[in-house]
Amino acid sequence: MNSVDMTMASVACIGECMVELRQAQGGQSAGQGGGLYSRGFGGDTLNTAVYLARLEVKVDYLTALGDDALSDEMIAAWNAESVGTRRVVRLPGKLPGLYMIQLDAKGERQFFHWRDSAAARQLMSLPETDELLNSLMSYDIVYLSAITLSIYDQAGRDRLFAAIKRARLLGTRFVFDTNFRARGWPDRDVAREVFAAAFAAADIVLTSTEDLLALWPGESHEQLMARIPTPELVFRLAEPVSLLRFPGGTHEVRAEPMTKPVVDTTAAGDSFAAAYIAARLGGSEPVEAAQAGHRLASLVICYPGAIIPGYAMPPKKRHRAAPTRQATK
């Protein structure tokens, strides 16, 4: 990873951004199932891309959108955040996916998705796909999540993994985030097989007890970590603690105590990933990078929504020069 100047580091975030309908406060009508909703945009890898850009990392978002006004709004919003859109494929007649967040009487959130025909699902089977996948070799890091993998069929996943393996031969690093959502998979056996393939291909895995226990219930931390052969592993526990495994040893990193109330945990993991990747690109060792991840995540959960106001971002930190990018042997 050659990133003496952080603006020269490059990350490709692959995934899907959807239209979000969120129940507005006080929007639940008495005696009715409906209510008022506000519209926004959301997606796990898109959240990470935004935070990477705010941390002064050059990042492109790789996805497919329609040619509709909502897709135009997404592009404009990403450009405003300095997220690169040159790798976004626009499909005539298609639309982005949509999800709705509904609150019950106790304030618990429920998610409803409409995404089966979303443009992003076709990204691995387009005339432009080969060019898009070949471009992965030009990035320092390719980042995607299990949600990304869940929207493609097996042929699409195989095509993506093959491209990632080619890119790694030239020094690109693959970072896999296990963000697991059961409703995105036909069954857990399929998810386990795909996770195993991603683990085998990855240079860095970012995971959590929440994700892995959903797939391998009852296993200990040691058993879960043993399933992941990648050389660099960040394993977030239920409490604000990370277990790190990397060449040279293992380490436990605890988040600093919270000084503000938790408002919304949305994008805690996405922002952690961004800060960790940015720090590693900037030359920080894994322990320091995990500390940066916990700091940003602890800040993000003090604000409503996935993306906090720009003024609330932490002060910019000067990073050390990262090691020279090397091809995988």
Per-residue DSSP letter, 242: E
The pLDDT value given to residue 30: 42
Per-residue DSSP letter, 302: T
Stretch among 27-31, 45-49, 166-170 having the lowest mean pLDDT: 27-31
Q: What is the mean pLDDT of residues 277-303?
A: 93
The pLDDT value given to residue 204: 98
Higher pLDDT, 212 or 23: 212
Torsion, Cα of 318, 320, 323, 324 (10° steps): 60
The pLDDT value given to residue 272: 95
Q: Residues 44, 177, 211, 270: which is the catalytic one?
A: 270
Q: What is the mean pLDDT of residues 311-318?
A: 76
Q: What is the mean pLDDT of residues 42-63?
A: 95
Measured CA distances, 164 to 102, 142, 159, 172, 174 (Å): 37, 8, 9, 8, 7
Q: What is the mean pLDDT of residues 111-139?
A: 92
Q: What is the mean pLDDT of residues 317-326?
A: 55
Using the predicted structure, report yes or no on whether residue 53 has a pLDDT greater than 90.
yes
Radius of gyration of the chain (CA): 19
What is the CATH number that goes with domain 6-15+44-90+118-312?
A: 3.40.1190.20
pLDDT-derived band at 317 (thresholds 50, 70, 90) equals: low
Using the predicted structure, report yes or no on whether residue 114 has a pLDDT greater than 90.
no
Q: Find out whether 50 and 307 touch, Cβ atoms under 8 Å.
A: yes
pLDDT-derived band at 262 (thresholds 50, 70, 90) equals: confident
Q: Find out whether 96 and 71 touch, Cβ atoms under 8 Å.
A: yes
Using the predicted structure, report yes or no on whether residue 150 has a pLDDT greater than 50.
yes
- For residue 275, the one-letter residue type is A
The answer to whether residue 270 is catalytic is yes
Measured CA distances, 141 to 13, 73, 173, 175 (Å): 9, 27, 5, 7
Q: What is the pLDDT of residues 192-220, one digit of tens each?
A: 999 999 999 999 999 999 999 999 999 99
What is the distance, to the nearest Å, from the Cα of residue 139 to the centroid of all Cα atoms in its chain?
A: 16
Rounded Cα distance between 92 and 86, Å, is: 17
Q: Find out whether 81 and 46 touch, Cβ atoms under 8 Å.
A: no
To the nearest 10 degrees (0 to 180), the angle between helices 268-281 and 286-300 is 150
**How much is the mean pLDDT over the chain?**
88
The pLDDT value given to residue 29: 47
The pLDDT value given to residue 104: 59
Using the predicted structure, report yes or no on whether residue 106 has a pLDDT greater than 80.
no
Higher pLDDT, 6 or 59: 59
The sign of the CA dihedral 5, 298, 241, 42 is negative
